[in-house]
Each structure stands twice: as C-alpha cells, then as structure tokens.
Structure 1
Amino acid sequence: MQMQFRRSGRLLHDLLDLFIRVGLIAAMVAFSYQVFAPFLELMVWSVILAVTLYPLQRRLQARLGWRDGWAATLIVVVAQLLLLVPVYLLLSSLSESLESLIALLKSGAWSLPKPPDSVAGWPLVGPQLHALWLSTSNDLTSTLQNLLPHFKGTGRVLLAALANVSAALLLFIAALIIAGICMAFGEQGANAFKRITTRISGPERGPHIVHLCTATIRAVAMGVIGIAFIQMVLVGMGLVVMGVPGAGFLAFVVLLLGIVQLPATLITLPAILYVFSTQGFDAATIAFALYMFIAGLADNVLKPMLLGRGVDVPMPVVLIGALGGMVAKGIIGLFIGPVILAVAYKLFWMWVDEQKPGDSIDPLPPY
C-alpha cells in the first residue's frame, strides 16, 4: 500500500514537472512568434530569393573565382538596378504625363467634341451619357467641379493602392538585401536546414525534403516569374514595333499580370483592337494581331514545360499549390503553397509505401 502511494506520488510529480516544462516551452514559443511575426514575411521572401538566386551565385563564383560574399553582393546590386531603374523611368514618365495633362486642362486649349445624336439612342445608358457628354463639351470646368466630389472615394482607393505598391517595393528591396546575406552563408544555411529536417523526419527523409523544397521554389520562380518575364518581352517587342503608345508601361503590366496569374490577353486584345482602329486592316496589322494573340497565350504552352521542371512531384500538384497559395496568401503564397503541397504529397506517398514485413497487396481481380 505504501509502495503504491509512493509510485502514485512520483507519477503525479513527474506529470506536474512535464506540464510545467510544456507550459514554459509553449509560452516561450508564443512569445518568440509575437516578436518575430512583424519580420515573418520579410524573412520568407528573403529565403525564397536566396534559394532562387543561389545557383546563379555558384556559377558566378566558379567563373570569376570570387568569394561567396562578393558574388552575392554583385547579384544584389545588379538586381537592385534592374528593379529600380525601370521603376524610376516609369514614375518619371507618369509624372511628366500628369504635368502635361494638368497644364493642358489649365490652358483651356483642349475641348471635347459634341456627341453625335446616335449616342442618345443607345439602350439603358444612351440618354444619360449623351447629356453628360454634351454638358462636358459645353463647359468642361464646371462639369469637372461637379464630378470632383464623386471621385474622392476613388482617389482614396488609388492612394491606398499606391501606398501598398510602395510598401511591397520597399519590402522586396529589403528582402533582396537580406537574401544576399543569406547567399553569402549559403552552405551553412543549407546544412542547418538539413539538420532541422533530419531531426524532424529522420536521416532518410530529411535530405530528400530539403531537395524537394529547394527544387519546388526554383521551379515556381522559373515557371511563374520566368514565364511572365518572357511574355513581357514578347508582348513588348510587338507593341514597340507597331508604335503603340505606352508600350513600356503596357509590357510592365503584362509582367504583373503574369505574376498574379491573370491572362496577358487583357492587354494584347485591346492592343490589337487599337492597331486595327488606327492603322486599318493590312498584312502588317494582321501579322501583328496573330503574333500578339500567340504571345498572349504563350504561358499556356510554357507553364507545363517549366513549372514542374526538376520537381519529383506531378506538375498539377505544383500548379494547384501555386494557384491555391496565391488565393490564400497573395503573392507570397505563390511560392509557399506549392512547397507545402509538394512536401505533403511526398510524405503521404512515403507513408503509403511503408509496408510492414510480410504485408502484401493482393492484385485486383480482372473485370
């Protein structure tokens, strides 16, 4: 009886000690997450960029004979220039266009022609549109003053969107700098990640999971951003050759549409209609229309070829992970989604293939 009492007392003591330890560990993890949460997105972007750009660093290091830090610094500087120079040119072009528009409106030299009478016969919106058009052509200044209160909400939305874009750009620049630091210590980081995955999944699965995560991130970067860049170049060349106004800006929009997985035909089809309406139908414009139509749909051909390249999972798994991750977590989910889904897919089939000794699967009977 006394021995049972001592055993039960020791068991309660051990359980209490276990609960205290688990509680302290949970409190420390929760507090650490709260401290690290503001930097979580920045660090995830940094790791994604470092994993994507690390093969380029290895090639530069082998060709130039530089140290890891110097090669990573060169990549970061060139990437910053490639990112900031087009942004600066775009902002300069937009500011000049806005200044010229304001000067034109203030001078009063620009006037809107009167609407044709056929506009009033349009269904649903014809009479209202004809009246608004007519009043604007008669007195543009008063019409703009009357419409200005209605544009305040739209202006706030545009300013909020511009602020979000600016914040995303600053985040990307900071992530690129931190990615350079991570690439400078790439081997140590890779070994640390292997140790972590080996500790969690065992010595057999750990290195395979590391390879799977790395290959998936690079495949998504090549299959999403790479395809968007190729499509931007193809569409931009066609727009420049045909002299479409704002060709550089429209090509940049094609790049953004490709990253967020929207069709480039949102730009190519209006461009085709604009060229037909301004230059008519001839051999050059028809060839331009065919070229732009093919360039706008090029991602449908390139994506199956590049998105799952080098990844030991089916391409639909990576594609579903990219699309679902983007819907759930935005642009960063475009990379996190396929990694998580690919790892879960491989772990599931590893679990399925683990058979106990002596277990056998009977073949299905013939139909």
Structure 2
Amino acid sequence: MKNLHRSTDMPQMLFTLMFILLMIVACIWIVQPFILGFAWASMVVIATWPLMLRVQRLLWNRRSLAVVVMTLLLLLLFIIPIALLVNSLIDNSAPVIAWATQGHMEMPSLLWLNDIPAIGDKLFSSYHKLIAGGGSAIMAKLQPYVGRTTGFFVAQAGHFGRLMIHLGVMLLFSALLFWRGEQAAQGIRHFAFRMAGRRGDATVLLAGQAIRAVALGVVVTALVQGVLGGIGLALSGIPYATLLTVLMILCCLVQIGPLIVLVPAIIWLYWSGDTTWGTVLLIWSCVVGTLDNVLRPMLIRMGADLPMILILSGVIGGLVAFGLIGLFIGPVVLAVSYRLVSVWMHETPPPPEGDLASVVEILSDHDEEHLPS
C-alpha cells in the first residue's frame, strides 16, 4: 500500500516563508512615505463617513458631489487652520527665541512678596538672599540650554514644507477613500474574515466604531473646549491668545484640560488690576472646564458603546507610545482586545454562586490528596 502522506520539505517551507517576509518588507518600504498620510486619511474618513452619507443624500445621491463637498470641508476646516496655526506659532516664537538667546534672562525681583501679610517681608528677604547666593549664576548657566531647547521645538514645528506634504497626501487619500469607501471597507472585512472568520469581521467593525468614538468624544470635545477657551482669552485681552488656544487644544487632547492655561491667565488679569475681565474669564473658565464632563460621554456613546475609562486610557497611552496618531491607535487596540477577551470569557458559564469557603476547601482537599504519605 502506497504511503499517501508526503514528507515535509523543510527547505521549501523555509524559502517560501523567507520570500513572503521579503515581499512584505519590500511593500512596506515602498509605501513608507505614504503610511502616515494614509493612516490619518483612514481615521478622518472613518470618523466622518456618516456625515458624508448625509451630504450625499442631500445632493441627490451623487457621490461625486458629496466627495467634492467633503474634500472642501476638510480643506477649509482642517488643513487650512492647521497650516495657519503652525505659521502663527513660528512667527510668534521668534521674539521668544531672541529673548532666550540674547542674554536677557534674569531672576525676577518679585516685589509683590512684600504685600503678603505677616510673612511677606521674610519671603522677600529669603528670596533675594537666594538670588545673591547664586540664583543669577544658575540662570546664566541655564540660558544657553533654554535657547537651544526653544529653538529645537520651534525647528520641529518649522518643518512647514513636510507638514504640508503630509496634509496634501492625507487630503488626496481622503478623497479616494470617500469615493471608494465601500469597496475599501469590504476588502478589509474580507481579509479579516479570511484570517479569523466572523470574529475577524466583527473586530474590523469594532475598530471602526472605536475610531468614531474617539473622533467624536475626544477630538471634538478638545476642539470645542480649546476654541471656547481661546475666545475667552481673546475677549479678555490676554496676549498671544492664538498660541494659548493651540496649547489648550493639545492639553485637552492629552486629557489634562484647559484650566492649566486658563487659571494663570485669570491670575494675571487680577494681578494687573483688571478685575472685571478677570471675573468674566473666571466664570467662563468654570463653564469651559466642566464642559467635557457632559459633552465627552455623550459623544463617545454616539460613536461606540464602550467604557469611557477604556477610551481615555487608550488615548493617553497611545499618545505616549505612538505620538499624535496614537490618539486613535490606542483606543482601537484596547477596545478590540477588551471585546475579544470578553467574548472568550463568556464562552463558558460563570462560576456558581455559593459559599466561598466551600470553594476554597476544594483546593485544600486536592492538596491533601497529593501529599506524599
């Protein structure tokens, strides 16, 4: 009788695996310049896909018109404001760099310490003794490093050409994905179904819901808080309100909140004697600072029915691990992992409820049976 089982050809399997890995690495190498732009375009399209379908219904179900409208909206509401903000950041940072690098850094005198009741004189005296004992020398040593650090961060923000290229690639891929979004989604779902069956397909759908939840609950909330806080700063006469608005949006994205910018502005207004606008900004800051407690949970529930602690942990951890794109990657990974583990756990019934002591006795009896006699 013939042996129908073929012997395993290990060299063939090894070379096949090496060839597949080589092709994967080559493909990634080729598309590397477009990965970041495509990733951002995917996040934007997934987050705004329901809006695109609504626009398409309003435009007589013409996909071409809807794509044009959505592309113009991205250009007007996303790309142009980012370009203007970065340009404003570069222009307004020039005086800061000049001040930090030209030897004008001195320890402040803090004359207002004398006005503090009871302990003001002692604080003022102790502070100036500290300056006389080496505070100015410390500032002189720190000055070159402060100048270099400031210049480094502004230089990173100053790669204006590279930023515009990434934004242009993102806009192009966004238009293509809006145009062929169903085909792209079906291809990804087909690949996931081939990999893991129905669970793979469900994982892809869950990832899309998590991206939409982050876009609605985290990004939109941060933009609303930052813009409202910036309006309050501008009306109160705070200088560099545009830069502070950008800083507030970033702080809201990393879940620090806008008060870290608004509170010093309030203190500065009161200290300069403008108590009227200081009070107005104080009331406005209370509204802006607590807005996320109402707006964010509501928007997250609109995107996906996921625990808010999961989304926020993914946002913070993703930002630390992957940078700004991690704002979406972190929650997606945690949400998919959470659902997969939950499904795996519920494949078996939960343990019976009863006397906990009797459950512990089972282990004790098991240990006694296996003890050597």
User: TM-score, length-normalised on structure 1?
Assistant: 0.76
1:52-75 deviation line (CA, Å, top 9, x unaligned):
122221111110225323322322
Cα deviation for residue 280 of structure 1 reads 4.2
Q: What's the counterpart of residue 137 of structure 1?
A: none
Q: What's the counterpart of residue 42 of structure 1?
A: 37
Aligned counterparts of 2:194 and 2:346: Cα–Cα separation in 1: 21
Aligned counterparts of 2:131 and 2:143: Cα–Cα separation in 1: 22
- Per the alignment, do residues 176 and 256 of structure 1 end up closer, same or farther by CA in structure 2, a change over 3 Å counting? farther
Instruction: Pick from 178, 181, 185 the counterpart of residue 176 of structure 2.
Output: 181
Cα deviation for residue 48 of structure 1 reads 0.8
1:336-357 deviation line (CA, Å, top 9, x unaligned):
11111111111222222234xx
Cα deviation for residue 186 of structure 1 reads 1.0
Aligned counterparts of 1:131 and 1:29: Cα–Cα separation in 2: 58
1:188-216 deviation line (CA, Å, top 9, x unaligned):
112112211211221x3344223211111
Residues matched between the structures, number: 340
Retained in 1: the 8 A contact 2:248–2:261? yes
Mapped pair 1:353 → 2:342: no
116-125 vs 48-57, greater mean Cα deviation? 116-125
Aligned counterparts of 2:125 and 2:338: Cα–Cα separation in 1: 60
328-337 vs 61-70, greater mean Cα deviation? 61-70
Aligned counterparts of 2:310 and 2:21: Cα–Cα separation in 1: 34
Aligned counterparts of 1:149 and 1:364: Cα–Cα separation in 2: 67
Aligned counterparts of 2:133 and 2:160: Cα–Cα separation in 1: 36
- Per the alignment, do residues 296 and 166 of structure 1 end up closer, same or farther by CA in structure 2, a change over 3 Å counting? farther
Q: What's the counterpart of residue 290 of structure 1?
A: 283
Mapped pair 1:194 → 2:199: no
Cα deviation for residue 167 of structure 1 reads 3.7
Cα deviation for residue 249 of structure 1 reads 3.3
1:31-83 deviation line (CA, Å, top 9, x unaligned):
32333334322221121111112222111111022532332232222322333
1:255-293 deviation line (CA, Å, top 9, x unaligned):
2222233321121011111221234445x6334313213
Identity in percent: 28
Instruction: Pick from 239, 243, 247 the counterpart of residue 237 of structure 2.
Output: 243
Cα deviation for residue 87 of structure 1 reads 3.8
Cα deviation for residue 147 of structure 1 reads 10
Cα deviation for residue 242 of structure 1 reads 2.2
Aligned counterparts of 1:147 and 1:258: Cα–Cα separation in 2: 30
- Per the alignment, do residues 86 and 165 of structure 1 end up closer, same or farther by CA in structure 2, a change over 3 Å counting? closer
Q: Give secondary structure in 2 for the equivalent of 1:205.
A: helix
Q: Which runs of 5+ in 1 are unaligned?
A: 103-111, 133-142
180-189 vs 342-351, greater mean Cα deviation? 342-351
| Mapping of residues 289-308 of structure 1, within 5 Å | 289-308=282-301
Aligned counterparts of 2:351 and 2:89: Cα–Cα separation in 1: 70
Mapped pair 1:122 → 2:127: yes
Instruction: Pick from 80, 86, 110 the counterpart of residue 84 of structure 1.
Output: 80
Q: What's the counterpart of residue 371 of structure 2?
A: none
Instruction: Pick from 310, 320, 329 the counterpart of residue 313 of structure 2.
Output: 320
One-letter code aligned to 2:239: P
37-46 vs 261-270, greater mean Cα deviation? 37-46
Aligned counterparts of 1:206 and 1:97: Cα–Cα separation in 2: 48
Instruction: Pick from 208, 216, 224 the counterpart of residue 222 of structure 1.
Output: 216
Retained in 2: the 8 A contact 1:69–1:181? no
Cα deviation for residue 252 of structure 1 reads 2.8
Q: Which runs of 5+ in 2 are unaligned?
A: 99-105, 115-120, 357-373
Mapped pair 1:234 → 2:239: no
Aligned counterparts of 1:130 and 1:206: Cα–Cα separation in 2: 62
- Per the alignment, do residues 11 and 267 of structure 1 end up closer, same or farther by CA in structure 2, a change over 3 Å counting? same
Retained in 1: the 8 A contact 2:86–2:157? no
Q: Tell me the C-alpha RMSD between the 2 structures.
A: 3.9
Aligned counterparts of 2:195 and 2:145: Cα–Cα separation in 1: 58
